[in-house]
Structure 1
Amino acid sequence: MSAPDVGGPWTGSGRATQIAVLTRRSLRALILEPRVIVASMLTPLLMLVVFGQVFASVAATANFPRGVSYIDFLLPAILVNTAMQSALQTGIALTQEMRDGIITRLRSLPVWPGSILLGRSLAELVRSALRLVLLLVLATLLFGFRPDGGPGGVLAATVLALLVGGGLGWIFIALACWMRDLELMQNLSGLVTFGLMFGSNAFVPLSSLPGWLQVIALVNPMTYGIEAARDLTLGHPPGAGAVLAPVAAIAIAVLAAAVAIVGFQRVR
């Protein structure tokens, strides 16, 4: 006679373990394909080169901060945008895995749906950090990026960019969970990214924008994130943006995560 099963049915591991395992799963793909990181550096570098040349004359206008090079003004905005672009890739990769049936297999396991989303998001946050470090190194070597805030200010701005970009990136994860169409996801995400980036103070000072665009920029959380990152790198005292940007990013991430989980539970 076999011994009775006193333990009951297995209900799966704890959520922390699930998140850790699924994060390692996503990171393993990055390690096996380092070319992905190299290729992902092309967009921020291209933005730095193109916008650094196209908008360089802005540094000569009356509203531009005195004694600041345009590269030092632009790079904090590129940091925030790069972090958000990494989060965008999370949404696209998630949509791809839904289409390929990988998510369906994971959903067949006793796994909390949020663990799958958080694991993917945390892995992308690591890749985003690597992208920002490489971007800073190349900007220093190739473009003479040497802001007055020094290494401490640049490090603080990088952490802030990861927080703001990662928080806003949950918008794309939520979109992926509800739309589940790769082409539609790419097109709509491009529109959202375009609006957030150009409806902000990324390329010119806020006071140089047209009046109607200033109104949009004032309700755009990226504006405050870029402003705070810029203050940190330039050695200025952090303003209200240093508080408003993380608070807004966290609030958006929590709301978008709740929406994403609801949509993700509908995946079959």
Structure 2
Amino acid sequence: MSSMVETGTGRGASAPSAARPARPGALSSTLTFAWRAVQKVRRDPTQILEALGVPVMFTLVFGFLFGGALAGSTSSYMQFYIPGIVVFTGIMISMRIGAVVNLDNSREVTDRFRALAIWRPAAIVGTLLGNNVLYVVGCAVAVAVGLAVGFRPDGGVLGVLATILITLVFVFSFSWVYVVFGLALKSPTAALSACQAIVFPVSFVSNFFVPQETLPGWLQAVVGLNPFALTVTAARGLAHGTATAGEVGAALVGCAALVAVFAPLSMFLYRRRA
């Protein structure tokens, strides 16, 4: 019997210990949560409808409303307006992020994610990246509607793609503001209302509708510090092939500043829930 124990063939043999699975890396964890966000978008047609409706509504209403008064003709105004509406579409659609994060918290899903042996920010970063599907759809629709009403980007296809790309970078950066509201407030409705309250001052106190140089001097200074306005300037330059390194660099610095301030604050609130 002792020989049976020694050789591991009898009842006294200890079961071989299973190899512990390797801890998933930051990238794989983030991509998993990004795929989760994509699946949630796929199962919620209202989000797709919003991505389609926002650029159509704002292009047709504000473009034709302000076009003749501000630029002399709608066609001329669309050359100025459409790159801005691409960026605006991105931050309008991404407002849902605050409510999404809050809803996860209210259902204690976040507590379950936090207990996993994964990179802590993966759940939030993955959610932000996964929702890029919506933003790409919205931006593409904005460009398509613009082309239909007379927008002709001098930068060609590459210019339009660069405009969408810098918009995605900005939306990712600005979405951290929404995450803060989603983690700090008590209900999805409150989070969404707070996100709406911040979007309109940021977008209207900017060079979105009118050239920055037409504003009062003090307001020009404020607009010059607005990351949204910096991104709109870069987007216009990229769309028409006139962007300078300084314009693109300023937009990226503005995006980096948003992440530097609001990403750590988001993670502080995320950890505090534990």
Shorter-chain TM-score range: 0.7 to 0.9
Query: Which residue number in structure 2 is paired with residue 64 of structure 1?
Result: none
Q: Which residue of 2 aligns with 1:15?
A: 26
Q: Confirm whether residue 125 of structure 1 aligns to residue 129 of structure 2.
A: no
Other-structure match for 2:54: 43
What's 1:88 paired with? 95
Aligned-partner SS, 1:249 = helix
> Where does 1:238-257 land on structure 2 (aligned, <5 Å)?
238=244, 240-257=246-263
- The reply on whether 1:174 has 2:180 as its aligned counterpart is yes
1:217 matched residue in structure 2 = 223
1:68-116 superposed Cα distances (whole Å, 9 cap, x missing partner):
7111211111111122223322222111221233223323333333010
> Higher relative contact order by CA 8 Å / sep ≥ 6: 1 or 2?
1
Q: Which residue of 1 aligns with 2:5?
A: none
Q: Distance in 2 between matches of 1:7 and 1:140?
A: 58
Partner of 1:76: 83
Alignment of 1:103-182 (within 5 A): 103-141=110-148, 143-182=149-188
Question: Is the CA contact 2:96–2:192 (under 8 Å) kept in the aligned structure 1?
Answer: no
The answer (yes or no) to whether the contact 2:51–2:137 under 8 Å persists in 1 is no
8 Å CA contact 2:30–2:125 kept in 1: the answer is: yes
| TM superposition shift of 1:197 | 0.3
In structure 1, the residue matched to 2:70 is 58
- The one-letter amino acid of 2:220's match is Q
Distance 1:236 1:44, change over 3 A: same
SS at match of 1:201: coil
Segment drifting more, 105-114 vs 126-135:
105-114
Identity %: 25
The CA deviation string for residues 108-155 of structure 1, in whole angstroms up to 9 with x for no partner, is 3333330100110101123211221122223223x1221222212111
Letter in 2 for 1:3: A
C-alpha separation in 1, matches of 2:92 and 2:118? 28
SS at match of 2:273: coil
Change (3 A) 1:190 1:33: closer
TM-score (norm 1): 0.88
TM-score normalized by the length of structure 2: 0.86
Q: In the alignment, which residue of structure 1 is the partner of 2:15?
A: 3
Question: AA paired with 1:25?
Answer: R
SS state of the match for residue 152, structure 2? coil
Q: Distance in 1 between matches of 2:130 and 2:58?
A: 24
Q: Rate the CA distance shift 1:252–1:194 in 2: closer, same or farther, 3 A.
A: same
- How many residues align? The count is 261
Aligned-pair RMSD on alpha carbons?
2.3
Counterpart position of 2:211: 205
Which amino acid in the other structure matches residue 40 of structure 1?
A
Tell me, which stretches of 5 or more residues in structure 2 are unaligned? 1-12
1-side partners of 2:180 and 2:236: how far apart? 29
Instruction: Report if the CA contact (8 A) 2:154-2:239 is conserved.
Output: yes
Distance apart, 1:12 and its partner CA? 4.2
1:230 aligns with: 236
Letter aligned with residue 173 of structure 1:
V
> 1:74–1:202: 8 Å Cα contact kept in structure 2?
yes
**How many Å separate the matches in 1 of 2:175 and 2:210?**
23
| Aligned equivalents of 1:235, 1:6: Cα separation in 2 | 59
For the residues of structure 1 that align with 2:221 and 2:23, how far apart are their CA atoms?
Answer: 49
Distance 2:239 2:161 in 1: 8
Pair member with larger Rg: 2
Cα shift at 1:237: 4.0
State the distance in 1 between where 2:119 and 2:178 align: 20
Residue 238 of structure 1 deviates from its aligned partner by 2.3
Structure 1: which 5+ runs fail to align?
A: 62-66
For residue 29 of structure 1, report the CA deviation from its aligned partner. 1.8
